[in-house]
Amino acid sequence: MEFTAQQIADYLQGIVEGDPNVTVTNFNKIEEGKPGGISFLANPKYTHYIYESKASIVLVNKDFVAEKPISATLVRVDDAYASLAKLMQLAVSYKPRRKKIEWRSHVACSAKIGKGVYVGAFSYISKKAVIGKNSQIYPQVFVGENVKIGENCIIYPGVKIYHDCIIGNNCILHAGVVIGGDGFGFAPQEDGSYKKIPQMGNVVLEDDVEIGANTTVDRATMGSTIVHKGVKLDNLNQIAHNVEVGENTVMAAMSGIAGSSKVGKNCIIAGQVGIAGHLQITDKVTLAAQTGVISNISDNSTPWFGSPAMPIKGYLKSYTLFRKFPDIYKELQQLRKELNELKNNNNQ
């Protein structure tokens, strides 16, 4: 990858401020900028680095106002962070893609493999599986019977996709992801034991879904567990059976959604959030870290926080009182002592 500042500005619909012919070949954090690298400034906390950065080019927002001289060439864009993502995607697209089936892999005779597909060593493609063109199946991946994988997908090492599951186009599954394991369904018996309920559905991932390492999405008891278009799941998440996650919802690490809950579009779910089963969460809801949701949420006008979840302002007010409880309790004990002394004096 080698781009000039002018090429970058043209691609991002930005404006060059400095040398339009300066070139870059790699990306740097702004605090670690080096000649030949491109950095970005989006968070005001990092502004001081731009005045000492050695990066050749820095992406900045169009409204950025410099308070000191800057040695780097600036490319002014509407959104520096979004522009960086777009530019990095372009750089990745220039990397060569593998396009062969390695001999130590297994591909069933009835499987259909599209043009330009890569299948790495020790991967197993089962009967009647379908893999769309230009998808990359890295080593040690298991693809079950009747699985359908769309075009331009990247399936990293160690991913397991159980039978009948459907993966859309442009999906990325990171190492250790399990799609279509059995949902947690057991019927209690009179003797205290549990009888397994067969999980006969599947999982459907729509287009442009990305799932982080060691995240699991369980198959439905009946029907489908559905992760809609554009959803991004972080590492170590759990999506239970018959859950539905709406378009463009993002979910940070170590969060879980229990069975049959429906999460709306464009929601933001922070780390270590727990959502109980059979709930409805409307579109554009934000759940702060470690929130515990035990009832439906229909209000998206404020972030939710705490366990049980409540609007964040109410939680912070409650927490302020909670921190004062030791002092309040101490004062109450003192008042009780004084009251008892008054009672004793009156009885004498």
Give yes or no for a contact between 240 and 258, defined as CB atoms under 8 angstroms apart: yes
DSSP letter string, 255-294:
-EE-TT-EE-TT-EE-TT-EE-SS-EE-TT-EE-TT-EE-
- 3-class secondary structure, 196: strand
Specify whether 241 is catalytic: yes
Q: What are φ and ψ of residue 194, in 5° steps?
A: -125, 135
**Cα–Cα distance measured from residue 344 to residue 348, given in angstroms and rounded to the nearest whole number:** 6
Q: Which residues pair with 216 in a beta bridge?
A: 178, 238
Bridge-based pairing of strands 148-149 and 166-167 is: parallel
Catalytic residue among 48, 106, 241, 278, which?
Answer: 241
CB neighbourhood size of 195 (10 A): 9
Q: Which residues are catalytic?
A: 241
